[in-house]
Amino acid sequence: MSFKSAILVASFIVLLVAGNALGGGGSGLKQMWLTSDRGTYIGSNTDPWLDESTIVSESPFKLDLTNHLPKDNIDGIYLIISASRDPRGPNGIKVTIGPANFSDHPGTTISKHLIGNNEWQQVSGNNGVTFLGYNTANHGILTSGRWYTIQRIDPANNGLFLLKNQQNHIYVDFEISSNNASDRIHIDSEGTRMEKGSEKGFTGNPYSHDLTWQIPEFSTVALPIAGIFAIMFVMHRRKKED
């Protein structure tokens, strides 16, 4: 085996191990789905932060929102962003969001900004959070003591829509940084429509097809790297013997 072949084999091992660690796909509910250009979707998991979610371990990344409702367009789009701990302060979790753009419209709906300390709120109780008059499900994430912020991506009265049956997309840029390996940021969505001049939430955030950002576990990264070094060591010894 040549050195180039060894590198190709090692690269395959990295992809195989990473794929097995993250798991397979899932079906989920037909509402708003969140995916990413750098994420991998996993199926059922006992950890609510990972269950039926796209997992992202890189930054920056681009969030991709689509509307899977068969009959209804979505007028207004909100993101519910949850943090695994208090994200405020100099040693907190830094989340920068924006810009956001429709795939079928060149205009930017929000500009880039760092989510400020005063935008984060602490969850009270285990009934989720209040959104336009009703409580969202907690999904095992929006539980007592957690932190969250609601960010409006697109106003409901600007004439733009997230079209039914995945006819268009909204792309939202994210940059997340943390100095704590256990930190996580979870992103879910809520959609609204205008009814008699009032904005009402109606899609609900489904139990699937949301997104979690986390720093990759060392064991997930270390095993493939160890395999690469082992193959390189064997090839080096063979070359010396020849």
Q: Evaluate whether residue 3 is within a structural domain.
A: no
Q: Evaluate whether residue 185 is within a structural domain.
A: yes
pLDDT surpassing 90 at residue 170: yes
pTM of full prediction above 0.75: yes
Query: In this predicted structure, what is the pLDDT of residue 19?
Result: 39
Domain count, the chain: 1
* E strand intervals along the chain: 32-36, 40-41, 53-56, 61-67, 76-83, 94-102, 108-110, 113-114, 121-122, 130-131, 134-135, 147-154, 170-177, 184-195, 198-201, 210-214
Q: Evaluate whether residue 222 is within a structural domain.
A: no
Q: Evaluate whether residue 230 is within a structural domain.
A: no
Query: In this predicted structure, what is the pLDDT of residue 151?
Result: 95
pLDDT in tens, 40-93: 998 899 999 999 899 999 899 999 999 999 988 999 999 999 999 999 999 999
What is the CB-side half-sphere exposure of residue 204 using CA atoms within 13 A? 12
Query: In this predicted structure, what is the pLDDT of residue 203?
Result: 75
Q: Evaluate whether residue 15 is within a structural domain.
A: no
Query: In this predicted structure, what is the pLDDT of residue 194?
Result: 86
Query: In this predicted structure, what is the pLDDT of residue 133?
Result: 78
pLDDT in tens, 181-191: 999 999 999 88
Q: CA–CA separation, 89 vs 117, rounded Å? A: 7
Q: Evaluate whether residue 1 is within a structural domain.
A: no
Q: Evaluate whether residue 95 is within a structural domain.
A: yes
Q: What is the mean pLDDT of residues 3-15?
A: 47
Q: What is the mean pLDDT of residues 111-119?
A: 96
Q: Evaluate whether residue 2 is within a structural domain.
A: no
Total count of residues recorded for the chain: 242
pLDDT in tens, 199-211: 887 776 666 789 9
From 97, 93, 70, 224, select the one nearest 173 (Cα to Cα). Answer: 97
pLDDT surpassing 80 at residue 143: yes
Query: In this predicted structure, what is the pLDDT of residue 138?
Result: 87
Which residue range is the domain that position 132 belongs to?
26-215
pLDDT in tens, 49-64: 999 899 999 899 999 9
